[in-house]
Amino acid sequence: MEIVRTPAGLTAAVEAMRRAGARVAFVPTMGALHAGHLALVAEGLARADAVVASIFVNPRQFGPGEDLARYPRDEAGDAAKLEAAGCTLLYAPDVAAMYPPGFSSFVRVDGLPDVLCGAVRPGHFDGVATVVTKLLAAARADVAIFGEKDWQQLAIVKRMAADLDLGTEIVGAPIVRDSDGLALSSRNLYLAPEDRARALALPRALAEAQGRLRAGGGVAEVLAQGALALATAGFARVDYFELVDGETLATLDAVQPGARLMAAGVVGTTRLIDNLGL
């Protein structure tokens, strides 16, 4: 698997693939790869002839006091996993290649970043929108695959790619879970064993809320029960437990097609997110 480290190198390599007639899928990541990331590569291979992945821990999407410094990094291990999964090319730029001196542009989507995780992590989705725009603009792939675990990120990226005519189709891939139901996340590595056990309350509370809503339960009561279940299980903080429209992220007080249950909270010192369709 070839590794390129500059935007121009990425553009040239993908252009060469497309000139040779290949349809190209792009999988952006921050590394610390797990089976959820490899499922994104598999989704790319199902939709294209070649998959290009990127690894870049983007400083602009971490707030002050967040986990940028301790975010797990293992490029060699990740590269081996990507190659075994069928990736053709890895883009692994350093910070200076992505944000050279004088860099002063930001991409901001209106509205969607102000709610849910964005309300708790101000500026986070501006950092995501900026780096994803740069990645998509340099890759110029046919399709890009993002995990549905970060549903809000996916909604923002879809809006942005359409608004800015980025020319790459944005596709979401289903959440991959451990056998006990916990959604895979690079941040699960931070969880001490007792916190990992507490964390299971998140998928369980979402599944219970889904069942209650499907059985006709009242939305406000079901959401309050969900948030209470997390607090009772020992979450240090519950950021939100909400029912939203999956595309606009507007809060809903009744179930409707496309509705999504969204929850986030902190276990120990680790912030976890999860969501479920209805």
Residues identified as active-site: 37
Q: Which is nearer to ligand PAF, 153 or 222 (CB)?
A: 153
Shortest separation between residue 7's beta carbon and ligand PAF, angstroms? 15
Rounded CA-CA distance 53/181 in Å is 26
Shortest separation between residue 197's beta carbon and ligand PAF, angstroms? 25
- What tokens were used for 140? 């110029």
Shortest separation between residue 57's beta carbon and ligand PAF, angstroms? 8
Q: Which is nearer to ligand PAF, 30 or 48 (CB)?
A: 30
Q: Could you list the residues that contact ligand PAF (CB under 6 A)?
A: 28-30, 58, 61, 128, 131-132, 150, 153
Place of tokens 């009561």: 221
Stated as kind and residue range, the H or E segment containing 175 is: none
The answer to whether residues 36 and 149 touch, using CB atoms and an 8 Å cutoff, is yes
Q: Which is nearer to ligand PAF, 131 or 219 (CB)?
A: 131
Shortest separation between residue 220's beta carbon and ligand PAF, angstroms? 31
- What tokens were used for 57? 């821990």
Q: Where are the alpha helices (DSSP H) in the chain?
A: 7-19, 35-47, 75-85, 95-98, 116-120, 124-139, 151-163, 193-199, 201-214, 219-233
Q: Which is nearer to ligand PAF, 28 or 226 (CB)?
A: 28
Shortest separation between residue 214's beta carbon and ligand PAF, angstroms? 29
The answer to whether residues 235 and 164 touch, using CB atoms and an 8 Å cutoff, is no
Q: Which is nearer to ligand PAF, 115 or 219 (CB)?
A: 115
Sequence-separated contacts (24+) of 13-18 with Cβ below 8 Å? 13/52, 13/89, 14/52, 14/89, 14/139, 14/140, 14/141, 15/140, 17/49, 17/50, 17/52, 17/88, 17/89, 18/140, 18/142
The residue length of the chain stands at 278
